[in-house]
Structure 1
């Protein structure tokens, strides 16, 4: 990946709806080579896809919590069962496995505190292998969905 590919990635992270013509103009390249580079970046996996960034409150998701999860056991069956279970919870919008304690960090979005409590009691606390859940409520987003540095 060279500097031109990085410029293309920077522009597409800022606006994934750019036409190839607009993108080519921004990175100072003709259309055909620019299109070829974008296709190559897609094929290599550097560009994983395109999506709309949706405002959670527009969907009625006004409450967000970060949930730290400690598993009772960390054998492969428990880890697999937990990860499959958490992947089936639509309100978990991010899940990351961590080194050390705790084992996982979940980002959860719900309508309000009552909806979060119900999700916590009925889904999160019943996930396979869960020993402890610790929640932290999100007050506000200071940096959110920032493009990756080049």
Structure 2
């Protein structure tokens, strides 16, 4: 990856719907080399996909919680990770060093909906010993761009 690839990625992070023509013009390439580089970035997995940035509140998901999870033992790691990966309201999940073991970002309609999700889903995940929830008051920055 060179400076031109990085310039293309910076522009695409700001506008993933940008046409190849606009991208080529923006980075100072002709269309054919821009297409070739774009395909290489996609095929190599540098570009993992293209997504739409949806406002959660406008689709009825105005409640956000951060959930810290501590597991009982290391035998539960893989089953826990596999199950979490399949649960829609958990929109981000990170394994952490130290205690707690995981940080989950959960979206729900409101507090009662989150409470039901907590009681019906989160407490039943494999190996859960402890859950600690923090309610997000306000989102200051989301959908951050990689500093490339």
TM superposition score category, shorter chain reference? over 0.9
Q: List structure 1 segments (4+ residues) > 6 angstroms apart after TM superposition.
A: none
2:16 alignment counterpart: 16
Report the alpha carbon displacement of residue 88 of structure 1 after superposing the two structures with TM: 2.7
Gaps spanning 5+ residues in structure 2: where?
A: none
1:72 alignment counterpart: 72
Residues matched between the structures, number: 148
CA distance in 2, matches of 1:89, 1:21: 38
CA distance in 2, matches of 1:48, 1:73: 32
CA distance in 2, matches of 1:88, 1:19: 33
Q: 1:89-108 alignment to 2 at 5 Å? A: 89-108=87-106
Q: 1:1-150 alignment to 2 at 5 Å? A: 1-75=1-75, 78-150=76-148
Report the alpha carbon displacement of residue 74 of structure 1 after superposing the two structures with TM: 1.0
**Offset from partner CA, 1:50-90 (integer Å, 9 cap, x none):** 11111111210000000000000112xx1111112212321
RMSD over equivalenced CA pairs, Å: 0.8
**Offset from partner CA, 1:111-140 (integer Å, 9 cap, x none):** 000000000011001111000000011111
What is the SS of the residue equivalent to 2:124?
coil
CA distance in 2, matches of 1:21, 1:91: 37
What is the SS of the residue equivalent to 1:125?
helix
Report the alpha carbon displacement of residue 13 of structure 1 after superposing the two structures with TM: 0.5
Gaps spanning 5+ residues in structure 1: where?
A: none
TM value normalised by structure 2: 0.97
